[in-house]
Structure 1
Amino acid sequence: MTIIIGEIAYTNILPTFYYLDRKKLNELDCRFVPQIPAELNRGMANGAVDVGGISSFAYGENFDRYTLLPNLSVSAYSQVGSLFLFSKKPIEELNEKSIALTSSSATTVHLLKIILGKFYEFDVQYEVMKPNFEEMLINHDACLLIGDDAIRTVWNKSNQIYMYDIGQLWYEHTGLPMTYAVFAVRNEVLESESEKLSMLYQQFINSKTKSFEDRFQPMITSIKSDIGGTQAFWEQYFQGLSYDLDEQMLKGLNFYYQLAYELGYLKRKVQSISLWSAYDHCHSM
Structure 2
Amino acid sequence: MTCPRVGHIDFLNVLPLSYSYNHGAAQGLSITRGVPAVLNNDLINGRLDMSNSSSIVYARHSEKLVILPDVCVSTDGPVQSILLISKKPIESLTDDKIILTAKSATSHCLLKIILRSYGAIPNYYVRHVGPDKPIPDDATASLLIGDDALWCYHHREEGLYYYDLGQEWQELTGQKMVYALWVVNRDFAESNPEMLQLIYDRVTKAFRKYPDQKDTIIRSVLDDKPFTYEQLDSYLYNTIQWDLTEEYKKGLETFYALAHNMNLIEHIPELHFAKVRRN
Measured against the shorter chain, the TM-score band is over 0.9
TM-score, scaled to structure 1: 0.92
- Paired residue total: 275
Matched with 1:262 is: 261
Q: Deviations over 1:48-105 (max 9, x none)?
A: 0111100001111111211111110000010001110111111111122121110001
Give the whole-Å Cα distance in 2 for the aligned partners of 1:74 and 1:17: 14
Matched with 1:273 is: 271
Give the whole-Å Cα distance in 2 for the aligned partners of 1:277 and 1:221: 35
Q: Deviations over 1:140-165 (max 9, x none)?
A: 11100000111222344412111010
C-alpha spacing 1:205/1:157, structure 2 compared with 1 (3 Å): same
SS of the equivalent of 1:132 reads coil
Root-mean-square deviation (CA), in Å?
1.7
Give the whole-Å Cα distance in 2 for the aligned partners of 1:8 and 1:24: 15
SS of the equivalent of 2:206 reads helix
Unmatched 5+ stretches in structure 2: none
> Is 1:210 equivalent to 2:227 in the alignment?
no
The one-letter code sitting in structure 2 at the alignment partner of 1:213 is D
Give the whole-Å Cα distance in 1 for the aligned partners of 2:196 and 2:62: 19
The one-letter code sitting in structure 1 at the alignment partner of 2:253 is N
Matched with 2:218 is: 220
2:16–2:210 Cα contact (<8 Å) kept: yes
The one-letter code sitting in structure 1 at the alignment partner of 2:175 is L
Matched with 2:17 is: 16
SS of the equivalent of 2:32 reads strand
Give the whole-Å Cα distance in 2 for the aligned partners of 1:230 and 1:202: 31
> Is 1:242 equivalent to 2:244 in the alignment?
no
Q: CA deviation at 1:25?
A: 4.5
Give the whole-Å Cα distance in 1 for the aligned partners of 2:78 and 2:156: 19
Unmatched 5+ stretches in structure 1: 281-285
1:129–1:136 Cα contact (<8 Å) kept: no
Give the whole-Å Cα distance in 2 for the aligned partners of 1:275 and 1:143: 34
2:86–2:135 Cα contact (<8 Å) kept: no
Q: Deviations over 1:120-151 (max 9, x none)?
A: 12121111111224274211111000001112
* Residues 67-86 of structure 1 mapped to structure 2, 5 A cutoff: 67-86=66-85
The one-letter code sitting in structure 2 at the alignment partner of 1:245 is L
Q: Deviations over 1:173-193 (max 9, x none)?
A: 101000000000000101221
Give the whole-Å Cα distance in 2 for the aligned partners of 1:81 and 1:271: 28
The one-letter code sitting in structure 2 at the alignment partner of 1:51 is M
1:63–1:270 Cα contact (<8 Å) kept: no
Matched with 1:283 is: none
TM-score, scaled to structure 2: 0.94
Give the whole-Å Cα distance in 2 for the aligned partners of 1:59 and 1:180: 11
The one-letter code sitting in structure 2 at the alignment partner of 1:5 is V
Give the whole-Å Cα distance in 1 for the aligned partners of 2:169 and 2:156: 23
1:77–1:171 Cα contact (<8 Å) kept: yes
Q: CA deviation at 1:270?
A: 2.4
SS of the equivalent of 2:119 reads coil
Percent of aligned pairs with the same amino acid:
32
